[in-house]
Amino acid sequence: MRKLLVPVILIAFLVTGNSSLAQSFFTANEYGIAVGASQYFGDLNENYGFKTVNMAYGIYGRRRMNSYIALKLSGNYTQVGYDDKFNTIPYKVSRNLNFKSKVIEASFQAEFNFFRFITGDRSFRFTPYLTGGIGAFYYNPYTTYNGYTYDLRPLGTEGQNTGQYDSRKYTSIAVCFPIGAGIKYWLAPGVNLSFEIVDRLTTTDYLDDVSQTYVGADKFPRSTALNPAKSLQDRSIEISGNPELGRVGKQRGNSSSSDQYLMAMFSISFNFTTYKCPAFMSRDLIKTY
């Protein structure tokens, strides 16, 4: 929880402590919807495979500060997951772990256009852009075992509930840092299309419930239908029948880097506030703001 305090306080300060930025936040002049796809990268997918692409959806409000810079507040939903059966390294295949998780995200991003972009002005109709920001997301990794679905965090598959590995405990909310690029194009005055690819660097290595080492089957109570933690902490036995892989201290994940998820989204947005330039200017320069 302490890891979340600094980013959360920073967001609160930026939004409420800066009156002009706060006004921009809550007076968005452009609203849109987005649809696309997502992919998780982490301990089960270290080679950046795209075997488990899922649909992603979003809504957002955008405030254009000028023709080069815009601020965007968005909410997104997707599902992520992976399975060791998609790996090519024999050890990872025999590890036999898998997970899925719904992800609900809120984020604040700044967009930096390469060219001037003014919807309604034919001279400034298109631009690539860079984007970056900060956000928070909810996640809850789960898996299926013997036909039943189990949330993994409460089970403490890496010893979190044994009293010996408290540092491995994690919450269902983490911070993310979106960073990516996109393209904007206005289709009609006040109607904008965009496509962006944005990776989310996160502050958790437990999006997939996998991070560090096995703690040994003897640390868990006998596996039951209500508490299958002993069975789920080392699933290699389901393939080989040999518990050797899950011995104490054996690497279960890679704690040197945190997990990530990427979203590629198409969006359409609409401007609702417009004004016309002075009469002496060309009608082609009527702009939407």
pLDDT in tens, 49-86: 999 999 999 999 999 999 999 999 999 999 999 999 99
Domain that includes residue 182, residue range: 2-138+168-210+258-288
Bridge partners, residue 71, by sequence: 63, 110
Under the banding of pLDDT at 50, 70 and 90, the label for residue 7 is very low
Please state, in angstroms and as integers, the Cα–Cα distance from residue 264 to each residue in 29, 37, 267, following that order.
Answer: 24, 5, 10
Q: Are strands 148-151 and 173-188 parallel, antiparallel or unpaired?
A: unpaired
In a domain, 198, yes or no: yes
Under the banding of pLDDT at 50, 70 and 90, the label for residue 27 is low
Mean pLDDT on 174-194: 96
Q: 93-150, pLDDT tens digit by residue? A: 999 999 999 999 999 999 999 999 998 889 999 999 999 999 999 999 999 999 999 9
pTM (predicted TM-score): 0.85
pLDDT at 24: 45
Q: Say whether pLDDT at 277 is over 50.
A: no
Angstrom distance (rounded) from CA 48 to CA 147: 29
Angstrom distance (rounded) from CA 96 to CA 221: 21
Q: Are the C-beta atoms of residues 102 and 76 closer than 8 Å to each other?
A: no
Q: Which residue has the higher pLDDT, 237 or 207?
A: 207
Which of 72-86, 168-182, 244-258 is predicted least confidently? Answer: 244-258
pLDDT at 35: 98
Best CA proximity match to 58, nearest among 270, 273, 263, 272: 263
Question: What are φ and ψ of residue 52, in 5° steps?
Answer: -130, 55
Q: How many residues does the chain have?
A: 289
Tally the domains of the chain. 1
Q: Tokens standing for 69?
A: 């810079």
Angstrom distance (rounded) from CA 89 to CA 100: 21
In a domain, 242, yes or no: no
Q: Say whether pLDDT at 288 is over 90.
A: no
Mean pLDDT on 217-224: 94
Q: Say whether pLDDT at 9 is over 70.
A: no
Q: Say whether pLDDT at 17 is over 80.
A: no
In a domain, 147, yes or no: no
Mean pLDDT on 235-242: 84
pLDDT at 29: 87
Name the burial class of residue 49, with classes exposed (0-12), middle (13-18) and buried (19+) by CB atoms within 10 angstroms of its CB. Answer: middle
pLDDT at 43: 97
pLDDT at 244: 72
Q: Tokens standing for 235?
A: 């699933």
pLDDT at 113: 98
In a domain, 281, yes or no: yes
In a domain, 114, yes or no: yes
In a domain, 60, yes or no: yes
Percentage, residues of the chain above pLDDT 90 = 76
In a domain, 24, yes or no: yes
Q: Say whether pLDDT at 226 is over 70.
A: yes
In a domain, 187, yes or no: yes
Helix H, strand E, coil C: the string for the chain is CHHHHHHHHHHHHHHHHCHHHHHHHHCCCEEEEEEEEEEEEECCECCCCCCCCEEEEEEEEEEECCCCEEEEEEEEEEEEEEEHHHCCCHHHHHHCCEEEEEEEEEEEEEEEECCCCCCCCHHHCEEEEEEEEEEEEEECCEEEECCEEEECHHHCCCCCCCCCCHHHCCCCEEEEEEEEEEEEEEEECCEEEEEEEEEEEECCCCCCCCCCECCCHHHCCCCCCCCCHHHHCCCCHHHHCCHHHHCCCCECCCCCCCCEEEEEEEEEEEECCEECCCCCCCHHHCEEC
Q: Say whether pLDDT at 38 is over 50.
A: yes
Bridge partners, residue 64, by sequence: 70
Mean pLDDT on 226-251: 89
> Could you tell me the CATH number of the domain that includes residue 181?
2.40.160.20
